[in-house]
Amino acid sequence: MAIKISYEEELRVIGQTLESKGISIFEITCLPERYVIHAVANQSGSASKKLLGFLRSPSKSETYSFTLSSAEIKRQAELAKRSTSESLDNFRRASNVLATVGAYLDLKQAEFFELKLRPISLSLWYRDRTGHEQQEDRAVSSFYNLFIELQRKSPRL
């Protein structure tokens, strides 16, 4: 039986991959042994134009499937440890937001289903440790304090 890597680690790796592709608006669905990401490529222009473009039907979108092995997660985690403090301090980076949401799920001992990340908010679906399905709509900034707490404990986040 494979050892389950934390959502914090898995989602960080996905975030790093999406950052490298210039993607910050996306939906992640967790399926058995893989993640499916429906991503909207970043658009140039003002934030309001980006938001309006996202609310309409975006013209540039792609779908990715990630199957992350334990070795790949560990390799990417090591690379994240070596990243500069500038990237660690930028909470809004996809890798930091996703790692923080993953840590939140790990702390709750939750089973992750889906995440929709938008410019200033997110929707999160999961099953809590009592077996009840939960859905949360939150501002991305509501995770900032957890990000700071996790960064103090482990500066690699």
Distances (CA, A) of 127 to 44, 63, 109: 36, 24, 9
**Residue type for 121, please?**
S
pLDDT at 81 over 70: no
pLDDT score recorded for residue 85: 46
**Digit-coded pLDDT (tens) for 91-136:** 889 999 999 999 999 999 999 999 999 999 999 999 999 999 999 9
In whole numbers, what is the pLDDT of the chain averaged over residues? 81
Residue with more model confidence, 105 or 33: 105
pLDDT score recorded for residue 84: 45
Could you tell me if residue 91 is inside a domain? Answer: yes
pLDDT at 29 over 80: yes
Could you tell me if residue 2 is inside a domain? Answer: no
Strand, coil or helix: what is 4?
coil
Could you tell me if residue 103 is inside a domain? Answer: yes
Could you tell me if residue 88 is inside a domain? Answer: yes
pTM of the model: 0.78
pLDDT score recorded for residue 71: 58
| Number of independent structural domains in the chain | 1
Note down the domain range covering 70.
7-153
Could you tell me if residue 95 is inside a domain? Answer: yes
Tokens 């473009």: give the residue: 53
Could you tell me if residue 145 is inside a domain? Answer: yes
Could you tell me if residue 37 is inside a domain? Answer: yes
Could you tell me if residue 1 is inside a domain? Answer: no
- Residues 141-153 have a mean pLDDT of 90
**Digit-coded pLDDT (tens) for 52-69:** 554 554 457 889 888 877
- Contact indicator for 93, 157 with CB cutoff of 8 Å: no
pLDDT at 2 over 60: no
pLDDT score recorded for residue 132: 97
